């Protein structure tokens, strides 16, 4: 993954728009999952892994759910 560290909301929106425009229509669910994962990285920044951990946590404890990072196109 390229460094997507951005500080302002405008920068985040620009990076997200670029990801969607550049890669959002590439065929294959695995590529679309990659786009979603990259967007989450932009939104969460340094808290990405914490976000994934919370997402995966469920009624059966850690790793109740999985997080698929997809495959870069």
Q: Phi and psi for 61 in degrees, rounded to 5?
A: 95, -165
Indicate if the pLDDT at residue 41 is higher than 90: yes
Confidence class for position 34, pLDDT limits 50, 70, 90: very high
40 inside domain: yes
The reported pTM is 0.85
Contact 70, 32 (CB under 8 A): yes
Indicate if the pLDDT at residue 17 is higher than 70: yes
In terms of residue numbers, what domain contains 32?
A: 9-56
| DSSP assigned state of 53 | H
Contact 59, 19 (CB under 8 A): no
Query: Domains in the chain: how many in total?
Result: 1
Lowest mean pLDDT among 1-5, 33-37, 44-48, 63-67: 1-5
| DSSP assigned state of 38 | H
Check residue 7 and give its pLDDT.
76
Check residue 10 and give its pLDDT.
94
21 inside domain: yes
């Amino acid at each position: 993954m390229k460094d997507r560290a951005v500080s302002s909301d405008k920068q985040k929106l620009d990076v997200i728009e670029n990801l969607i425009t550049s890669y959002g229509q590439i065929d294959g669910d695995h590529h679309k999952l990659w786009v979603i994962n990259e967007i989450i990285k932009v939104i969460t920044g340094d808290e990405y892994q914490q976000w994934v951990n919370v997402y995966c946590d469920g009624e059966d404890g850690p790793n109740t759910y999985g997080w698929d990072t997809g495959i870069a196109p």
